[in-house]
Structure 1
Amino acid sequence: MNSELKELFEIKQEDKGKEKKTGKITDQNVKKHIATRLAVFILGTICFVIAIIEGKGGWEEVAFLILMAIFHAIWLLFIIIEAVVLHSKKKLALRDTNLIFILVLVLTYCISGIFLFGFA
């Protein structure tokens, strides 16, 4: 009877090991993932806005606007690459989070472009 209990216990341990290896949503912390990406994006934007406000005038603000656009483009590229990597690692919840984040960023850029450059 003791050997039967050991066999049952070993089967339960194998099942627990398989759950950890499959990469289910439980080991993908979506809230932390979103918070990290938003924090970098918002802090970068705030720093550039402060630099633009503190600018001496003239071309300095334009240069900071161009640098901020480059920062946003590189950040968007990073998120796209990360989504591809997460897809290959079968972390679908985090990949979907990145895809939603990409969609929101692109919509924000389009709306900003409309307001900056007109409806033409």
Structure 2
Amino acid sequence: MNPELRELFEIKQEDKEKDKKISKVTDQNVKSHITTRLAVFILGTICFVIAINEEKGGWEEIAFLIFMAIFHGLWLLFIIIEAVILQRKKKFILRNINLAFILILLLTYFISGIFLFGFA
């Protein structure tokens, strides 16, 4: 386009390049990605804590603990697979969020293991 016409219509090339960078970040839906993963983690953790604090004993409590451990294990597997897929799609912000959730889940199990079994 002619520079005179650009000035006349106030068209700037730099704005389009900035918009492309911004659209890449907003294309990744960071807020919804965090809220859904956080909601699943909090719900699973609350149920797991309730199961641990039950003092009834018996097979029901053990079954509930096993169920919640399987739930967290499957969720961890899902997050790992999703992180690999996001790496391939070059969505690095969402991949980093998943890696943070993996770290949080592993730390949660490590800390609960210390409190329950006294590893420290």
TM-score w.r.t. length of structure 1? 0.72
- 1:100 and 1:19 map into 2 onto residues whose CA distance is 27
Name the counterpart of 1:82: 82
Asked if structure 2 preserves the Cα contact closer than 8 Å seen for 1:48 and 1:68, the reply is yes
AA aligned to 2:100 is I
Q: Does 1:33 align with 2:40?
A: no
Tell me the secondary structure at the aligned position of residue 90 of structure 1: coil
Q: Determine the C-alpha separation between the residues in 2 that align with 1:114 and 1:53.
A: 15
Runs of 5+ unmatched residues, structure 2: none
Aligned ranges 1:95-114 → 2 under 5 Å: 95-114=95-114
Q: Unaligned stretches of 5+ in structure 1?
A: none
Q: Report the Cα offset of residue 56 of structure 1.
A: 6.8
1:116 aligns with 116
Deviation at 1:30, TM superposition (A): 1.6
Tell me, yes or no, if the aligned pair for 2:80 and 2:98 is still in contact at 8 Å. yes
- Work out whether residues 52 and 64 of structure 1, in 8 Å CA contact, stay in contact via their aligned partners in 2: no
- Which sits farther off after the overlay, 34-43 or 79-88? 34-43
Which stretch shifts more, 92-101 or 54-63? Answer: 54-63
Greater length-normalized contact order (CA 8 Å, ≥ 6 residues apart): 1
SS at match of 1:24: helix
Residues 114 and 56 from structure 1, CA distance in 2 versus in 1: closer, same or farther, beyond 3 angstroms? closer
The CA distance in 2 between the partners of 1:108 and 1:51, in whole Å, is: 15
Deviations 1:52-94 (A, max 9, x none): 7789751101110010000000000100000000000000000
Deviation at 1:26? Answer: 2.9
Q: Distance in 2 between matches of 1:93 and 1:40?
A: 19
Quick one: distance in 2 between partners of 1:111 and 1:47?
A: 17
The RMSD of aligned alpha carbons is 3.3
Residue correspondences, number: 112
Aligned residue type for 1:94: L
